[in-house]
Amino acid sequence: MKKLLFLLLFFSALKLTACPQTDSRLDSLLQALPTASGNDRVNILNQLCWLNRELSPDKAITYSKQAQELAKKNGFRKGLAQAYKNSGILFYDKGNFDQALEFYNLALPIREELKDQSGIASLYNNIALVQDARGDHKGSLASHLKSLRIYESLGDKPGISQTLNNIAVVHQRSGDLETALAYQHRSLKIKKEIHDRLGHATALLNIATIYEGLNQLDKALAYSEKALADLRQLDHKEYLAAVLNNLAILYMKSNRHVQGLTCAQEAYHLIKETGNRKAEAAMLLTMGEIYTAEQDFTTAENYYRKGLALARSMDQQPVMADAYELLAKNQAARQNYRQAFESVRQYASVKDSLFNKNMSDQLNSLQQRYENLKQADQIALLNRQKEIQRLNIRQQELLLREQKSQLLYLSCLLIAIVIIAAFLYSRRRLKQHLKEKQLLLVTQKQRSLAVVEAEEKERKRIGSDLHDGLGQLLSIARLNLSGLKEDLDTASEMQQQLLQNALDVLDEALREVRVISHNLASDPLRQQGIARAVQLLLDQISQTDRYTIHFEAIGLKEEPVPQFIEKVVYRVIQECLSNILKHAQATHISLQLIRHEHELTVMIEDNGRGFDLHEINQKPGIGLKNIRSRVEYLNGTVHFDSDPTRGTIISIAIPLLSTASPTMQNHEPISTQHPLTTR
């Protein structure tokens, strides 16, 4: 299980190993570096550091230091945070976890200052990996969970899935395989949703390692084979080699050595193609283990020695230690104890060298930590000075803002006073205007009342004069002619007829004088109201059997009209009907009286012969002048719609006084004034 996990974690970083694309990027960056300056140069140095992580760790550290120095000089906070993080990763790769954690903690406050949430989440993951490597599984889980919450708040599904994978690995290392399995399945589901095929294959492989730890080899093999199928489609040689290596180990544990050897050989050839010599050495040892399981100790020893030689040429002491340990076991199984002892001695020597190297790294880490702390103190002092300067500037800004606020307040107060004064002045002017308007309305009302009263008095006087004067004279004339008729018995028949005609004319004249005097002197509105008065007027017209009349009165019963308005409107209607009878040659007359809330509307329509509006407007008759003048007395409007080829429509609108009470809501005809049709 340890071998399987080791290879899995090892291959997860293969994207950093040498390949044509990496070489091309390195050449391009190295060409751009001499001419680059400022923040661009910091970014190039950070990229060179990252690309040299596996190829040349020492170069990577040098590039990282240069990036830090230049970023500090230029005040490029984002570049400095990245350089600190790169240094932390490099020291993590070397196993110097204290130094790695120190650089991560330098990068974290800068990312927080920049409010780079994604970068903060990534750093928490890096910190968690260091805590896990130091055996602090509880602290590692806490850091991973911080990262997970940030990624979830950002909705960053790739970050969520990767963090879930990291949490699963922590639980796996602490022995809680069931919890690890649950987290890996959550990570697998998200990778499938976001179509991350490489990540999906990696999650399948991680689940396989957990099932291997649970000793469920069938499930481990099944998930590994799924991962293998995905990676074959992607043609990703490095990850494909990792899966094949794990399958080889699983087949070996399942005593399926032939299949395991086939997988190991394919993985070996793939690794040779990628040029990853460290992985190549590890795969040689894996094939040796398979041959050892097959009891082919000689072939196994050859693979162990090839792996040892390759590891020695790269000074990969961890791989060398594994090779010596496997050789010792192989030689002991063959009862070659002398060689086995020598291999054990070499194993112990390499382990001592590794220990001394680790101690040296730790001492260097402590020295670097001291220098960093010293530098951090200087940075802290500068930061405090900058903070004091910032606070002074802030205080000045607040003072200036307060002065501006006071000025703004005074300006607003002055504007408010001006607005209030203007409002009060405008209100006073409006009151005066309304008062003047009301006075004008009262004056107009009084004038209208005076005109109407004067007119009515004059009409009564003329009617009385006609009745008492002209009527009496006509009556005397008729009596004289009647007496003359009796005295002319001997007159000719023609003379008798002429005399009778004169008597008939006098009778007609007397009747006409009585009607005119009655119309002028009578007041049909006093007791009956306008609706009933108009109804009676129309009834008189309908008695001739020449007209079809339609009459409607709406709203007058519920809300009567002031009497002086009724008188004027009634006289206007009389004039309109008189014009229709004299000039229109109509057969149908329609009349509507509608009482609105603030207006009285009169609509008169006939189907007779109309008139030319242009001609009438230039030379109006007495009747039309009377109509217009009467309506104007009441501040009303009158509109004529007429044409010689059709009838005439007269629309009159009379405004009602504001003292009138509101009318009814529904306009229903009054019961005594229903539409009338008479022939």
Return the CATH number at 549: 3.30.565.10
Residue that wins the pLDDT comparison between 61 and 357: 61
Say if 606 falls within a structural domain.
yes
Residue that wins the pLDDT comparison between 415 and 2: 415
The residues, any chain, with a CB within 8 Å of residue 153's CB and separated by 6 or more, are: 117
Say if 563 falls within a structural domain.
yes
Encode pLDDT of 94-136 as tens digits: 888 889 999 999 999 999 999 999 999 999 999 999 998 888 8
- Residue 582 vs residues 61, 334, 586: alpha-carbon distances, Å: 119, 147, 10
Task: Read off the tokens for 75.
Answer: 């005040």
Say if 559 falls within a structural domain.
yes
pLDDT score for 193: 92
Nearest CA to 199 among 161, 148, 157, 243? 161
Nearest CA to 324 among 293, 351, 359, 292? 351
Segments forming the whole domain that contains residue 647: 525-673
Nearest CA to 676 among 551, 520, 533, 489? 551
Q: What percent of the chain has pLDDT over 70?
A: 83
- Position 459 confidence tier, pLDDT thresholds 50, 70, 90: low
Q: What is the mean pLDDT of residues 348-377?
A: 66
Encode pLDDT of 68-84 as tens digits: 999 999 999 999 999 99
pLDDT score for 182: 94
Say if 321 falls within a structural domain.
no
* Total of domains in the chain: 1
Say if 530 falls within a structural domain.
yes
Q: What percent of the chain has pLDDT over 90?
A: 26
Task: Read off the tokens for 571.
Answer: 């006289």
Q: Return the minimum-mean-pLDDT range out of 139-153, 288-302, 411-425, 511-525.
A: 511-525
Nearest CA to 557 among 672, 659, 665, 655? 672
Say if 202 falls within a structural domain.
no
pLDDT score for 219: 92
Say if 638 falls within a structural domain.
yes
Beta bridge partners of 359: none
Given a cut of 60, is residue 14 above it in pLDDT?
no
Q: What is the mean pLDDT of residues 188-197?
A: 91
Say if 457 falls within a structural domain.
no
Given a cut of 70, is residue 567 above it in pLDDT?
yes
The DSSP result for 268-326, as a single string, is HHHHHHHT-HHHHHHHHHHHHHHHHHTT-HHHHHHHHHHHHHHHHHHT-HHHHHHHHHH
DSSP state of 669: B
Residue that wins the pLDDT comparison between 237 and 31: 31
- Position 383 confidence tier, pLDDT thresholds 50, 70, 90: confident
Q: What is the mean pLDDT of residues 275-301?
A: 86
Residue that wins the pLDDT comparison between 397 and 367: 397
Encode pLDDT of 255-278 as tens digits: 888 888 888 888 888 888 877 888
The residues, any chain, with a CB within 8 Å of residue 676's CB and separated by 6 or more, are: 535, 538, 539, 542, 549, 550, 551
Nearest CA to 283 among 298, 264, 299, 302? 264
Task: Note the pTM of the prediction, 2 decimals.
Answer: 0.48
Q: Return the minimum-mean-pLDDT range out of 80-89, 219-228, 477-486.
A: 477-486
- Residue 468 vs residues 328, 472, 508, 513, 521: alpha-carbon distances, Å: 161, 6, 17, 10, 12
Task: Read off the tokens for 644.
Answer: 């010689």
Burial class of residue 411 in the structure, from the number of CB atoms within 10 Å of its CB (0-12 exposed, 13-18 middle, 19+ buried): exposed
**Residue-averaged pLDDT of the chain:** 81
pLDDT score for 116: 93
Given a cut of 80, is residue 341 above it in pLDDT?
yes
pLDDT score for 590: 94
Are 652 and 605 contacting, i.e. CB atoms less than 8 angstroms apart?
no
Q: What is the mean pLDDT of residues 433-457?
A: 74
Encode pLDDT of 515-546 as tens digits: 676 666 556 666 678 888 888 888 888 887 78
